[in-house]
Each structure stands twice: as C-alpha cells, then as structure tokens.
Amino acid sequence: MLGFIGGTGPEGKGLALRFAISGLSVFIGSREKQRGAEAAEEIRSQFTEISSDMVAGGTNKEAAIVSDISVICTPYAGHKATLENLKHDLKGKIVVDVVAPLSFKKGSVSAITVEEGSAAEQAQLLLPDSLVVGAFQNASAEDLLIPSQDLECDVIVCSNDQSAKEQVMLLGERIPGVRSIDGGNLQNARYVEQLTALLININKIYNAHSSIKIVGI
C-alpha cells in the first residue's frame, strides 16, 4: 500500500492516480479525515478503470500507518511539522519526499534555501529510523492528472539507502513514459528540488509543461 501524506493536492492525487492505474493500492491522507475520503472518492468516480477497493482515504496518520511506502506531498511550509507528527508511524518505512521548497513572488518562482540542504535531507534528519528517498520533485501534477498521456520525463531518485532507492526507481517506472535515474545519495536531492523552480519559470516563458531528460548515460 502506498500512502500519500498531504495527498489531497494535485501532486499527491496525480501520483496516487497513476499508481492506482498501475495496479497498486493507494491511501490518500489529509489533515482532515473527510477531505482524504473525498479525494479518494473523486479518483474512484472519475477513473472507472480503477477498481474501487484500490483507493482509500482518511487522515495523514492513517496513511502513514497503513502504507509500506509513504509519499510526502505537503507544501514545504508544512513539511517539518507534518514529519515530526508522523515520526513514529513512519518508522522502518520507505518515505518518498516529493517536496520542492519554492517561493512564489511577483510572477516568478525561486527555490527556498533549506538549512539542511534540501527537503529530503531535512526529512532524513527528522526521520532517522525511516529510509528517505527524494523523487518526483520535477514531475508536473498537471501531466500526472491526465492518465491518457505518457509522462515523457526522467525522475531522478536520490537516497542514502541503495535498496530503498532501487525500490522507488522501480515504482517510478510503473508510470508510462517515466525513466528512473539513479541520482546518487540524498545530498544530490537539493539540485533536483531546485530544478523545479527553473522548470516552472521556463513553463511561464513558453506557456508549456517542461520536464527533464538526462542524456549521455
């Protein structure tokens, strides 16, 4: 079971949708039980190809408890407090951090400096008994939410735990069009997170949905 913490936003719902379509059970978490349940119902009713028992919803705590792999999809502003609250429930689990710390000001986007280096490194410090993996920070929610379209992007996966990283790389490739790239250890997650600011600014210039592809490997 994949649990989405802060899964009621576009990124969490988009990833949950793609993984449910790929045949995995998902649980949409929220700060409010009802919102999590409603987001799950929205996915179930819109996408009839997903069997209804594959998508459930409730609180973030429930999502953390029932999941084997938890995906953190809150805004950066809520990242630290959310992880502190769920520390015990996430113990021993793979925690995929999707968060890109960004600031939106005067029509442009910039990356927020994170004291620990990146949101993913902050997560690993807050969750010393979990296996934190940084991934999907560049995957556009808008694209994820159109399941008829392949994603056409690389997902760079960073972790200090090789086995957890390999599991998340396999997970990423369940989404059609995604190629997973081994991004090395967690200290490289900062570059991946910051790249999201650049992609959003490029999107504004070209009125497009940009993504990344690594060549030469």
Ligand X SMILES: NC(=O)c1ccc[n+]([C@@H]2O[C@H](COP(=O)([O-])OP(=O)(O)OC[C@H]3O[C@@H](n4cnc5c(N)ncnc54)[C@H](OP(=O)(O)O)[C@@H]3O)[C@@H](O)[C@H]2O)c1
Binding residues for ligand X (CB under 6 A) = 6, 8-12, 30-32, 35, 73-78, 82, 98-100, 102, 137, 139-141, 196
CB-nearer residue toward ligand X: 75 or 117: 75
Q: How far apart are CA 65 and CA 154, in angstroms?
A: 30
DSSP strand pairing (131-134 vs 153-159): antiparallel
Buried b (16+ CB within 10 A) or exposed e, 23-50: ebbbbbbbbeeebbbebbebbbeeeeeb
CB-nearer residue toward ligand X: 48 or 196: 196
Question: Least CB distance from residue 144 to ligand X, whole Å?
Answer: 8
| Closest residue to bound ligand X by CB | 78
Question: Least CB distance from residue 207 to ligand X, whole Å?
Answer: 16
CB-nearer residue toward ligand X: 31 or 174: 31
Question: Least CB distance from residue 199 to ligand X, whole Å?
Answer: 9
Taking a C-beta distance cutoff of 8 angstroms, is the pair 181, 153 a contact? no
Where does residue 173 rank: exposed (0-12), middle (13-18), buried (19+ CB within 10 A)? middle
Question: Least CB distance from residue 153 to ligand X, whole Å?
Answer: 11
Shortest CA distance to 25 belongs to which of 60, 52, 58? Answer: 52
CB-nearer residue toward ligand X: 35 or 61: 35
Question: Least CB distance from residue 158 to ligand X, whole Å?
Answer: 14
Question: Least CB distance from residue 124 to ligand X, whole Å?
Answer: 16
Is residue 32 helix, strand or coil? Answer: coil
CB-nearer residue toward ligand X: 73 or 171: 73
CA separation (Å) from 185 to 81, 100, 200? 24, 17, 25
CB-nearer residue toward ligand X: 28 or 51: 28
Taking a C-beta distance cutoff of 8 angstroms, is the pair 157, 183 a contact? yes
